[in-house]
Amino acid sequence: MDLLNTLVDKGLRRESPTREEALAVLATSDDDVLDVVAAAGKVRRHWFGRRVKLNYLVNLKSGLCPEDCSYCSQRLGSKAEILKYTWLKPDQASAAAAAGVSGGAKRVCLVASGRGPTDRDVDRVSDTIRAIKEQDDSVEVCACLGLLSDGQAERLREAGADAYNHNLNTSESTYGDITTTHTYADRVDTVNKAHAAGLSACSGLIAGMGESDEDLVDVVFSLRELDPDSVPVNFLIPMEGTPLAKEWHLTPQRCLRILAMTRFVCPDVEVRIAGGREVHLRTMQPLALHLANSIFLGDYLTSEGQAGHTDLEMIADAGFEVEGAGEVTLPEHRASVVRGGGCGSHEGGGGCGSHAGADGDSGCGAHAGGGVCAPASTAPRPAEEPRTDLVSVRRRGAGTDLAPNA
DSSP lists the bridge partners of residue 296 as: 55
CA 215 to chain centre: 17
Cα–Cα dist 58/165, whole Å: 13
The values of phi and psi at residue 67, to 5°, are -85, 160
- Hey, how many other C-beta atoms are within 10 angstroms of the C-beta on 282? 13
338 with 345: CB under 8 angstroms? yes
Distance of CA 304 to CAs 253, 273, 389, 393, Å? Answer: 23, 15, 12, 6
The values of phi and psi at residue 27, to 5°, are -90, 0
Burial tier of 1 (Cβ tally within 10 Å: 0-12, 13-18, 19+): exposed
CA 93 to chain centre: 22
Cα–Cα dist 382/298, whole Å: 30
Among 187, 217, 216, smallest CA distance to 202 is for 187
Q: What is the DSSP string of 154-185?
A: HHHHHHT--EEE---BS-GGGHHHH-SSS-HH
Cα–Cα dist 218/94, whole Å: 37
**Which amino acids are annotated catalytic?**
65, 69, 72, 109, 142, 202, 272
